A and B are shown apart, each in its own frame.
Chain A
Amino acid sequence: MRSLLAQIIHRLQLRESWVIFFILGIIMMTFPFMHIFNQPVLLFGFPLMFLYLTVGWAISITVIYLFMIASRTDDRSAAEKDEP
């Protein structure tokens, strides 16, 4: 478990991971995904769209938080190496 987390954090140090999550975030905010959740229904007493955006948001913040931890554990020189 611990090594898995370490591995995830290691992967998050890659510049590609940032770009992937960024693009993923934009995709989640547009047509296909939005359409899925664009229903006027309640789920657990919450409107579906409200739930989707709020939970999705919270998840994205968690991901950024993990990124931050990854970038802190990252050697500074490695971060600069990734920089074009």
Chain B
Amino acid sequence: MSSFMSSVATVSVVYAVLIFLIALYAHQRKEKKRSIISNPVVYALSLGVYCTTWTFYGSVGKAATTGIDFLLIYLGPSLTAFSWLFLLRRIIRISKEHNITSIADFISQRYGKSPWLGALVTLIAFLGIMPYIALQLKAVSTSFNLLSGARPSATGFITVGSGTDIPTGLILALVLALFSIIFGARRLISSERHEGLIAAVAFESLVKLVALLAVGLFVTYGMFDGFTDIFTRFRNSNPERFAQLFTINTSGSNPDYISSFTLLFLSMSAIMLLPRQFHVMVIENSHEQHITTAMWLFPVYLFLINLFIMPIAIGGILTTGSSSNADYFVLSLPQQAGYHGIALLAFLGGLSAAAGMVMVESIAISTMLLNHIFMPVIVRFTPRAWFPVLLINLKRFGIVLVILLGYYYFLIIGDSYTLVNMGLISFSAAAQFLPAMLGGLYWKRGNKAGAISGLLLGFLVWLYTLLLPSFSMSGWISKTLLSQGPFGIALLKPTELFGLTEMDLWSHSLFWSMLFNISSYIICSILITQGENERDQVHRFIGVFDKKELRPRTEQKRLSKPVTTEQFVTLLSKFIGESEARLAFKQYSNGHVGTGTISEFELPNLKRFTEKTLAGSVGGAAASAIVSSFLSDLGSSMEPVFDIFSSVRTNLDQNRESLFVRLKASEIINRTLDLKVIMDDLLTLLVKEFKLDTALISTRTDEGIFTITSSQGELVQQQSPPAWYLEHGPFIALAYGDQKTHFINDLRLERAAPPLDQTVAEGFIASAHIPIYREGEPVIAVLSLFSKSIAGLFTQEFIELLASLAGQLAQAITIVQEVDAKQQERSQKEAALLKTARITRDMEIAQQIQKSFLPDAAPVIAGVDIAGRCISAAHVGGDYYDFFLRGDGIVDVVIADISGHSVGAALIMSEVRTLLRTEANSTHPPQAVLETLNSQLHDDLSRAELFITMFYAEYNSATGVLCYANAGHNHPVLLRSGDAFFHELDADGLILGVKKEVVFEEQSIRLVSGDVLLFYTDGLTEASTTDGELFGTTRAYNHLKAYRQLSAAEILDSFYAVVHKFTGSQDLQDDISMIVIKIL
């Protein structure tokens, strides 16, 4: 016997080593990134952890005692599989996105990362599952004893021949704890997959199936002649029992289908909600697509594993004659038939069923314990360097705790009612998660208060109506509680609550717990509003498949004080170790920004990433608490971004407010070309729409000083720029320089460099400087906005809007400037033209006046033919000639040339004329006239820097004497009758205006009939051709000689004609004045 026992022990050890090697292999494959676990079949097999020893041994027992309704426990999960494509996929997607570590974490995260909810779920799971673990340990040690023939003592120790006690249960518990630690708690990160563990579980599922199929085939076809043989023989031998086992709940006269429905319902919930199921299904899922295979493969697994249960049970009854000890028919039937090999296989199957369940369950529960029971305490302490070590060891401790408590439970309860029914009691506990879970996935309004109250009430009802009676039936507490109710109140009897009788224990408990759970969940959810955290999470959970949610969400929160990446790394290091933290951030920064400076808008993402990474190790609630306490230690906190735009968004990734502002701005810009108006209106719009306190536009002068071009808000009333504005000079200069927006969202917390003390003192808390420029062009001006009330005003979205407005403004400014420039050019041209026209007109008038100064006609004196003419080159000229008739037959002739052709010359000419006219009335000789004129004109001429050449002659027709004096003028030429020579008239004298006192010589000559005298100005002789050839005196004299027969006027005409002909032009270079005196 003992040799067989040792062989069983040896096989067990070998099997354990095999499992270990498989797990190790899978783990190594994972390290090499060549996972064998990432496979739909393995995934489906790992779900087989649902089948524990309760299935392996208990199903046969249940089939043999209560009948076929045990199948409902496996039909339920098969039905649930229909919903997996939607339900499970959703849960997995959410869990991956939030690094969820357990079902407690899932429910807690959904309801605003509530630590209380996490703790509550953990507590329910812990209490509900621990006896279930005890059941596994019990089953394995019982089966070991059965197989090896050892007699167990009351304490579960088996006594070997030598008298040594071997605690099989304890050894098993310790081995399983070790396995669980090795493959489930090697690293702290619980959200990552444990491939070794899953490989072991999947392999164990396979062993379970093979073992049960082997036993089934052996019983059905080895011991009997197939299904029909077993069933027919059974009916024939015991028709009553047959009727009982193959119908459902026919114990009463009226069949009761409520209990079968309860079984169905409980198993349907349990397959998703038991902590270990959630763990293998969700946390260990490597690919969403594996669901589709598992959906049919897992039901196939359940189908196969249950196919032979009924035949084994009936076979057992037929063989042993009773259903006592039916729990171990799987083991005892082949053993009694002498097939130890099959029995050993069956034992290994049972061992596998227990091991898989205990390992996964203990890991799942220990994760929950760590994250929701230990962590909330730990986060109250300042993180220390040894935290990672503490945490991982706490997790390991949790595993050992769960398994050892299970073992302890097994020791003290032993073979009681509780243990046998623990499976269903656990299912009922897990079913309490259903409302919070389903509501959390599909009902937006479902809130934390509802979840906590529902779970708590459901849990309490479960405790009272199910756990308490089971304890009572086990004899732990007085049975009077069951029969009479607490304090003798019959209405409160745990199994007949509020007088609800004639219902089986499970249905009764399920009904009341679900009633309280669901109604409390719904009522509280409707009555109490969700907190902000909750609402955030609702969107993330329910909107997980929402395409709109896929695009980056606009940040709703900001960090009031910037935190560096390094600080986050340090924080993370304290919980998961430095190397893990660095690795995580490296991966993060690959997809995002560098580890250097990060923008304010990136910070919330970084914070969320830190939280998520941490959540993968310590759960969402604790991670959230850790990060917020870390931030508050730094003096920073998440504060709501001032949502300048409401959350209503259009399809254009815009929102109404933003569109409205853009529309208004473009209206303002297009309404006018007056920049001042545009700027003022735009600033007014910004101030009004965004509740700013001051908005202004600064420009840089040529000296590099910033001046306020336009301002709205508080600054408007002030005359000179206030001191606080001047503080912003460097920021404005910066915006000018790098063409970037510079903003400070909270002046009180962020230390601006250079400091902005005056601004802060003034009460401003947020400022932004936005450069106004067109793409690729220098900055034109800077738009500055200031707020006294809203910290965190300048969100990324707002800055983008402002930058776009600044761009529009820059465009408008450029357009206005271009228009202005064109306008200015045009008006300058017009002004110039106007001026020229005015001058021309003035000159024409001056010419007219000047012409009128010249004598209209020569005086008529008997015996003399006089003609004079002046043709000016410019509009006003410097030539002058005149005649003064004095009494009988005496005429004064004057010809002068004033230097220059300016208006000044013309004015001097008029002065000369006036003076001469006065002088002419006197009887002074020419020489005296010139002397007087010179002294009178000297000052004026020297002031105007002009000179006058003048020839003055007085002709007495009675005597024929011509007296004359000359002030530097061209000598008149006299052509005497009958004489071929030219006589030039000359007299000494200086040009007028050179000296004050000048003595002029007076000459006289007697003219005779036929004499022709020509006075002229230098315009005549200096008239030139285009080649520069001068007309010259010779040509003039010859011309006079040739035309001397003509009348004086005709001689003048001929002169002008010949000069025009000579120069080849109608315009004269210089004035030409001539006087011809012809003595008749």
Q: Which of B82, B86, B545 is most buried by chain A, counting CB atoms within 10 A of its CB? A: B82
Q: Are B261 and A30 in contact (CB under 8 A)?
A: yes
Q: Are B295 and A49 in contact (CB under 8 A)?
A: no
Residue interface mask A65-79, B partner, CB < 8 A = 1: 101100110000001
Chain B residue numbers with a CB within 8 Å of A79 are: 85
Q: Which of B75, B83, B307 is most buried by chain A, counting CB atoms within 10 A of its CB? A: B75
Q: Are A42 and B235 in contact (CB under 8 A)?
A: yes
* Bound Cα distance A7, B86 (Å): 22
A58: min CB distance to chain B, Å: 7
Q: Does B72 contact A (CB under 8 A)?
A: yes
Chain B residue numbers with a CB within 8 Å of A65 are: 296
Set B79, B227, B547: member contacting A45, Cβ < 8 A: B227
Set B231, B264, B545: member contacting A46, Cβ < 8 A: B231
Q: Give the interface size bracket for B toward A.
A: 35 or more
* Bound Cα distance A44, B246 (Å): 15
Q: Are A22 and B82 in contact (CB under 8 A)?
A: yes
Chain A residue numbers with a CB within 8 Å of B229 are: 45
Q: Does B724 contact A (CB under 8 A)?
A: no
Chain B residue numbers with a CB within 8 Å of A40 are: 235, 239, 242-243, 246-247, 250
Set B78, B295, B310, B547: member contacting A57, Cβ < 8 A: B78
Q: Does A11 contact B (CB under 8 A)?
A: no
Which A4-24 residues have C-beta < 8 A from chain B?
Answer: 15, 18, 21-22
Q: Does B71 contact A (CB under 8 A)?
A: yes
Chain B residue numbers with a CB within 8 Å of A29 are: 72, 75, 79, 260-261, 264
Q: Are B260 and A48 in contact (CB under 8 A)?
A: no
Contact A45:B264 (CB < 8 A) given known A50-B68, A57-B78: no
Which B40-99 residues have C-beta < 8 A from chain A?
Answer: 68, 71-72, 75, 78-79, 81-83, 85-86, 90
Chain A residue nearest to B245 in the complex (CB): A47
Residue interface mask B344-364, A partner, CB < 8 A = 1: 000000000000000000000
Q: Are B299 and A60 in contact (CB under 8 A)?
A: yes
Set B79, B86, B227: member contacting A83, Cβ < 8 A: B86
Chain B residue nearest to A25 in the complex (CB): B79
* Bound Cα distance A61, B68 (Å): 19
Q: Are A60 and B79 in contact (CB under 8 A)?
A: yes
* Bound Cα distance A15, B545 (Å): 15
Q: Are B246 and A50 in contact (CB under 8 A)?
A: yes
Q: Are A25 and B250 in contact (CB under 8 A)?
A: no
B258: min CB distance to chain A, Å: 9
Q: Are A38 and B231 in contact (CB under 8 A)?
A: no
Q: Does B1066 contact A (CB under 8 A)?
A: no
Chain B residue nearest to A18 in the complex (CB): B82
Chain A: interface residue total (CB-CB under 8 A): 38
Q: Does B554 contact A (CB under 8 A)?
A: no
Which B240-280 residues have C-beta < 8 A from chain A?
Answer: 242-243, 246-248, 250, 255, 257, 260-261, 264
Q: Does B672 contact A (CB under 8 A)?
A: no
Set A30, A57, A72: member contacting B264, Cβ < 8 A: A30
Chain A residue numbers with a CB within 8 Å of B242 are: 40, 47
Q: Are B83 and A68 in contact (CB under 8 A)?
A: no
Chain A residue numbers with a CB within 8 Å of B228 are: 42, 44-46
Contact A61:B545 (CB < 8 A) given known A29-B261, A38-B255, A46-B228: no
Q: Does B956 contact A (CB under 8 A)?
A: no
Q: Are A47 and B68 in contact (CB under 8 A)?
A: yes
Q: Does B981 contact A (CB under 8 A)?
A: no
Chain A residue numbers with a CB within 8 Å of B260 are: 29-30, 34
Q: Does B660 contact A (CB under 8 A)?
A: no
Which B877-920 residues have C-beta < 8 A from chain A?
Answer: none
Q: Does B2 contact A (CB under 8 A)?
A: no
Q: Are A53 and B68 in contact (CB under 8 A)?
A: yes
Contact A80:B295 (CB < 8 A) given known A35-B257, A61-B300: no
Chain B residue numbers with a CB within 8 Å of A3 are: none
Chain A residue numbers with a CB within 8 Å of B248 are: 34, 38, 49
Contact A64:B83 (CB < 8 A) given known A30-B264, A40-B239, A45-B228: no
Chain B residue numbers with a CB within 8 Å of A84 are: 442, 545
Chain A residue nearest to B255 in the complex (CB): A38
Chain B residue numbers with a CB within 8 Å of A42 are: 228, 231-232, 235
Q: Are B75 and A80 in contact (CB under 8 A)?
A: no
A24: min CB distance to chain B, Å: 9
* Bound Cα distance A72, B90 (Å): 17
Contact A61:B296 (CB < 8 A) given known A40-B239, A46-B227, A53-B68: yes
Q: Are B231 and A45 in contact (CB under 8 A)?
A: yes
Q: Are B296 and A64 in contact (CB under 8 A)?
A: yes
B228: min CB distance to chain A, Å: 3
Q: Are A72 and B292 in contact (CB under 8 A)?
A: yes
Q: Are B261 and A68 in contact (CB under 8 A)?
A: no
Residue interface mask B161-175, A partner, CB < 8 A = 1: 000000000000000
Chain B residue numbers with a CB within 8 Å of A48 are: 246
Q: Does A26 contact B (CB under 8 A)?
A: yes
A61: min CB distance to chain B, Å: 5
Set A21, A54, A61: member contacting B307, Cβ < 8 A: A54
Q: Does B159 contact A (CB under 8 A)?
A: no
A21: min CB distance to chain B, Å: 6
Chain A residue numbers with a CB within 8 Å of B235 are: 40, 42, 47
Q: Are B82 and A71 in contact (CB under 8 A)?
A: no
B667: min CB distance to chain A, Å: 41
Q: Are B257 and A34 in contact (CB under 8 A)?
A: yes
Q: Does B324 contact A (CB under 8 A)?
A: no
Q: Are A26 and B293 in contact (CB under 8 A)?
A: no
Chain B residue numbers with a CB within 8 Å of A22 are: 79, 82-83
* Bound Cα distance A59, B479 (Å): 46
Chain B residue numbers with a CB within 8 Å of A67 are: 82, 85, 295-296
Q: Are B292 and A71 in contact (CB under 8 A)?
A: yes
Contact A53:B75 (CB < 8 A) given known A42-B231, A65-B296: yes
Contact A38:B545 (CB < 8 A) given known A29-B261, A61-B299: no
Chain A residue numbers with a CB within 8 Å of B4 are: none
Chain B residue numbers with a CB within 8 Å of A46 are: 227-228, 231
* Bound Cα distance A40, B310 (Å): 15
Q: Are A57 and B299 in contact (CB under 8 A)?
A: yes
B896: min CB distance to chain A, Å: 107
Chain B residue numbers with a CB within 8 Å of A31 are: 257, 261
B159: min CB distance to chain A, Å: 42
Q: Are B78 and A61 in contact (CB under 8 A)?
A: yes
Set A30, A35, A47: member contacting B246, Cβ < 8 A: A47
Q: Does B303 contact A (CB under 8 A)?
A: yes
Q: Are B79 and A49 in contact (CB under 8 A)?
A: no
Contact A50:B231 (CB < 8 A) given known A29-B72, A34-B248, A57-B78: yes
Q: Are B78 and A68 in contact (CB under 8 A)?
A: no
* Bound Cα distance A40, B238 (Å): 12
Chain B residue nearest to A44 in the complex (CB): B228
* Bound Cα distance A65, B307 (Å): 19
Q: Which of B79, B83, B86 is most buried by chain A, counting CB atoms within 10 A of its CB? A: B79
Q: Which of B231, B232, B307 is most buried by chain A, counting CB atoms within 10 A of its CB? A: B231
Q: Are B247 and A49 in contact (CB under 8 A)?
A: yes
Q: Are B68 and A49 in contact (CB under 8 A)?
A: yes
* Bound Cα distance A72, B296 (Å): 13
B262: min CB distance to chain A, Å: 11
Chain A residue numbers with a CB within 8 Å of B295 are: 64, 67-68
Given contacts A34-B257, A40-B235, 14 further A-B contacts (CB under 8 A): A21-B82, A29-B75, A30-B261, A30-B264, A31-B257, A38-B247, A46-B231, A47-B68, A61-B300, A71-B292, A80-B545, A80-B547, A83-B86, A84-B442
Instruction: Write the residues of chain A forming the contact surface with B, with a CB cutoff of 8 angstroms.
Output: 15, 18, 21-22, 25-26, 29-31, 34-35, 38-40, 42, 44-50, 53-54, 57-58, 60-61, 64-65, 67-68, 71-72, 79-80, 83-84
The 5 closest A-B pairs by CB, nearest first: A45-B228, A40-B243, A47-B246, A22-B82, A83-B545
13 A-B residue pairings within 8 Å (CB atoms): A21-B82, A31-B261, A34-B260, A35-B255, A38-B255, A40-B243, A45-B227, A45-B232, A49-B68, A60-B78, A61-B300, A67-B82, A83-B90
